[in-house]
Amino acid sequence: MTLADDRAAVATAPAGVPHPRLSLNQATIKYATLDEALAVAAAAGIQSIGLWREPVQAVGLTEAVERVTASGLRVSSLCRGGFFTTSDPVARREALDDNRRALDEAAALGAPALVLVAGGLPEGSRDIVGARARVADALEALAPYALETGVTLAIEPLHPMYAADRAVVSTLGQALDIALHFDERAVGVVVDAFHVWWDPEVMQQIARAAGRIASYQVCDWITPLASDALLSRGMMGDGHIDFGPLTEAVTAAGYTGDVEVEIFNQHIWDSPFDEVVGQTVRRFAATVPL
Amino acid sequence: MTLADDRAAVATAPAGVPHPRLSLNQATIKYATLDEALAVAAAAGIQSIGLWREPVQAVGLTEAVERVTASGLRVSSLCRGGFFTTSDPVARREALDDNRRALDEAAALGAPALVLVAGGLPEGSRDIVGARARVADALEALAPYALETGVTLAIEPLHPMYAADRAVVSTLGQALDIALHFDERAVGVVVDAFHVWWDPEVMQQIARAAGRIASYQVCDWITPLASDALLSRGMMGDGHIDFGPLTEAVTAAGYTGDVEVEIFNQHIWDSPFDEVVGQTVRRFAATVPL
């Protein structure tokens, strides 16, 4: 099937019932409140949602837990913790405390995983080796509390284009090198197709991640890149990623959890929530072989 | 030394005599003709230049060889060959023929290496595994001619953010996995700091590249990324790369050739050639420990 045929097939696919493991990450409809996000997902028949801390905090944790419970949706993950590359002891302690609060929030919401973005190079530093070592140290400090809360710390390797300013964890292999030091209930990894699809070792590393995959996220790599590199994520089918082999590898590695669609894209953010969710359901069915 | 101190030291460093192994890649002064590039490099006391095919072809190969010889400069490399990921047999044959012509040009100019950019996913394809296999096949086809001409085919891994549309060779490890199948005089690798600095394995892979490094290029990773991702390269000292450990690793791997400064950056392109070259000499001395 050519890309043109494939795109035509995707565009005309019927909406149908959402896959039971499809989870709408709330960032895909960034401007929705928690209530709006829960409502639009439930109305589309989606069974799971990936939440972010800010919209939860906007209504307060207790209230958020009640609303999520009332919606009948599962929470697939809470985004996000991390940002612990600083070498300043005070800032570091604050970051660890904030991650413990995020674990509490995830536990209250019933999220199995807290997604971690490692953080970039500290201001004024070019020492990426040191920053990476501090990520491993932070996990050492947080792992016991993760076990207590029953929430897995999910290290998300971000695409190498974010290594300087967002996340010094840049490959799945590197994330696993850290995670494998810990109890698998305490520390796992996120496989996000956008961040790892390019990696010549991605298949071997997904296999190596068996038992460690705490979250699987999908969205497409579109070209040209958005002028703001953070907003380059696209709807599945609009870009260059073949979700078939990646999804099969994640399944072969034993992952049975929800699969989040997480898209940062200004055009999608500017579209009506229900249209985005409808398209998400259709594209997911057409591109992600679960 | 903090980044601020470091930047101050770099900014006030005296011009002095250029390092004898500093090579000005012509792309750093993109709008210069071949004559202008040779003149401004020679006037600054630089001993080597990295040439591109287009400005050479603009004056014709024979004439270009005469002018380079008259300038007294060495040619450190010719940019660029490659772009052989197509699966169309006719386009593929044309690409291979063009690479053989590029090897001839490099030989005539006295360049030890032809820099290869692999090419991205073919239009209409999401098969990155297949595209990568065709890169290895193309080198198999070209290696005998490289030996004949005495020019090394230098595989340049490009940053993973270019995997879809520029180069499916994304890491130094992957480039070496291909190169190590061939005679080291025929096929080597390029270590370009911008493309590899983020790689958690970069030190091990540079060590593994001993005897295979056909070119070492420097420029900085600046943030935020330029809105055109191709133009994100910055002057050494303006970004996040620590050139010390990388350069020491390249030296430890036995590389004794010229070190090219290759910067694609609109602001630098819009500056007077002699200013750019003067800054290149100063920043190179302050940041690249040879």
| Radius of gyration for the alpha carbons in chain A, expressed in angstroms and rounded | 18
Structure confidence at residue A2 (pLDDT): 45
- Residues of chain A in contact with residue B121, where contact means CB-CB under 8 angstroms, are 240
Rounded to an integer, what distance in angstroms lies between the CA atom of residue A190 and that of residue A79? 11
The pair phi, psi for residue B188, each rounded to 5°, is -130, -165
Q: Is the pLDDT of residue A5 over 80?
A: no
- Provide the token pair at A55: 């919209």
Mean pLDDT of A68-72: 98
- Provide the token pair at B27: 């792309």
Cβ neighbours of A49 (radius 10 Å): 26
Each residue's pLDDT tens digit, A31-64: 999 999 999 999 999 999 999 999 999 999 999 9
Structure confidence at residue B8 (pLDDT): 56
Mean pLDDT of B28-37: 97
Mean pLDDT of A5-21: 68
Task: Give the residue among B238, B87, B90 at the shortest CA–CA distance from B168.
Answer: B87
ipTM: 0.93
Determine the Cα angle at A7 with ends B164 and B127, to 5°: 35
Pair B170, A200: CB distance under 8 Å: yes
Chain A interface, best mutation among B222, B240, B247, B248, by max A CB count within 10 A = B240
Provide the residue count of chain B: 290
Mean pLDDT of A66-72: 98
- Provide the token pair at B194: 């911008």
Mean pLDDT of A119-137: 96
Instruction: Tell me how close the Cα of B74 comes to any Cα of chain A, in angstroms.
Output: 33
Pair A258, A23: CB distance under 8 Å: yes
Each residue's pLDDT tens digit, B46-97: 999 999 999 999 999 999 999 999 999 999 999 999 999 999 999 999 999 9
Q: Is the pLDDT of residue A1 over 50?
A: no
Rounded to an integer, what distance in angstroms lies between the CA atom of residue A221 and that of residue A194? 6
Q: Residue for token digits 């660029």?
A: B80
Tally DSSP H helices, then E strands, for chain B: 12, 10
**pLDDT averaged over every residue in chain B:** 95
- B161 and A164 in contact by Cβ < 8 A? no
pLDDT band at A152 (very low <50, low <70, confident <90, very high): very high
Give me the helix-helix angle, A3-12 and A273-287, nearest 10°.
130
Q: String of b and e for B120-144 (b: at least 16 CB within 10 Å)?
A: bbbeebbbbeebbebbbebbeebbe
- Residues of chain A in contact with residue B196, where contact means CB-CB under 8 angstroms, are none
Mean pLDDT of B109-128: 97
Rounded to an integer, what distance in angstroms lies between the CA atom of residue A97 and that of residue A141? 10
Rounded to an integer, what distance in angstroms lies between the CA atom of residue A205 and that of residue B24? 39
Mean pLDDT of B127-148: 97
Instruction: Tell me how close the Cα of A204 comes to any Cα of chain B, in angstroms.
Output: 13
Residue ranges of the domains in chain A?
A: 50-278
Residue of A nearest to B5 (CA): A124
Task: Give the residue among B168, B248, B183 at the shortest CA–CA distance from B214.
Answer: B183
Residue of B nearest to A128 (CA): B198
Each residue's pLDDT tens digit, B237-257: 999 999 999 999 999 999 999
In whole angstroms, what separates CA B234 from the centre of its chain? Answer: 14
Sequence-separated (6 or more) residues with CB below 8 Å from residue A25 = A49, A50, A76, A77, A79, A217, A260, A261, A262, A263
Residue of B nearest to A245 (CA): B127
Rounded to an integer, what distance in angstroms lies between the CA atom of residue A263 and that of residue A220? 8
Cβ neighbours of B36 (radius 10 Å): 15
DSSP B133-185: HHHHHHHHHHHHHHHHHT-EEEE-PPPGGGTTTTBS--SHHHHHHHHTTS-TT
What class is the A50-278 domain?
Answer: alpha beta
Is the four-CA dihedral A270, A274, A275, A277 of positive or negative sign? positive
Rounded to an integer, what distance in angstroms lies between the CA atom of residue A243 and that of residue A219? 9
Each residue's pLDDT tens digit, B178-233: 999 999 999 999 999 999 999 999 999 999 999 999 999 999 999 999 988 889 99
Q: Is the pLDDT of residue A4 over 70?
A: no
A interface with B, Cβ–Cβ below 8 Å: 2-4, 121, 123-129, 132, 159-161, 163-165, 170-171, 173-174, 177, 197-201, 221, 223-225, 227-229, 239-242, 245
Coil, strand or helix at A83: coil
Mean pLDDT of A194-218: 98
**pLDDT averaged over every residue in chain A:** 95
Q: Is the pLDDT of residue A117 over 90?
A: yes
CATH of B3-287, one of 3.40.50.1110, 3.40.140.10, 3.10.25.10, 3.20.20.150: 3.20.20.150
Is residue B109 within a helix (H) or strand (E), and if so which, with residue range? helix B89-109
- Residues of chain A in contact with residue B165, where contact means CB-CB under 8 angstroms, are 223-224
Work out how many CB contacts closer than 8 A connect A with B.
Answer: 95
Chain B interface, best mutation among A172, A177, A195, A198, by max B CB count within 10 A = A198
Instruction: Tell me how close the Cα of A107 comes to any Cα of chain B, in angstroms.
Output: 32
Rounded to an integer, what distance in angstroms lies between the CA atom of residue B109 and that of residue B62? 9
Residue of A nearest to B4 (CA): A124
Q: Residue for token digits 């305490």?
A: A186
- Residues of chain A in contact with residue B237, where contact means CB-CB under 8 angstroms, are none
Q: Which of A124, A173, A174 sits opposite B3 (nearest CB)?
A: A124
- Residues of chain B in contact with residue A239, where contact means CB-CB under 8 angstroms, are 164
Q: Distances in Å between the alpha carbon of A89 and those of A92, A95, A136, B288?
A: 5, 10, 16, 31
Q: Which of A160, A224, A227 sits opposite B160 (nearest CB)?
A: A160
Coil, strand or helix at A215: strand
Structure confidence at residue A143 (pLDDT): 98
Task: Give the residue among A221, A235, A240 at the shortest CA–CA distance from A269.
Answer: A235
The alpha helices in A27-120, defined as continuous H runs, are 34-43, 53-59, 61-71, 89-109
Residue of B nearest to A169 (CA): B200
Does the N-terminal peptide bond of residue B67 adopt cis geometry, omega within 30 degrees of 0? no
Structure confidence at residue B1 (pLDDT): 40
Structure confidence at residue B13 (pLDDT): 53
Rounded to an integer, what distance in angstroms lies between the CA atom of residue B11 and that of residue B5? 10
Q: Is the pLDDT of residue B10 over 80?
A: no
Rounded to an integer, what distance in angstroms lies between the CA atom of residue A121 and that of residue A178? 18
Rounded to an integer, what distance in angstroms lies between the CA atom of residue A192 and that of residue A259? 10
Q: Residue for token digits 């499916």?
A: B168
Q: Residue for token digits 């073949």?
A: A242
Backbone conformation region of residue A82, classed left if phi is above 0, alpha if psi is from -120 to 50, else beta: left
Structure confidence at residue B227 (pLDDT): 87
Rounded to an integer, what distance in angstroms lies between the CA atom of residue A233 and that of residue A231? 6
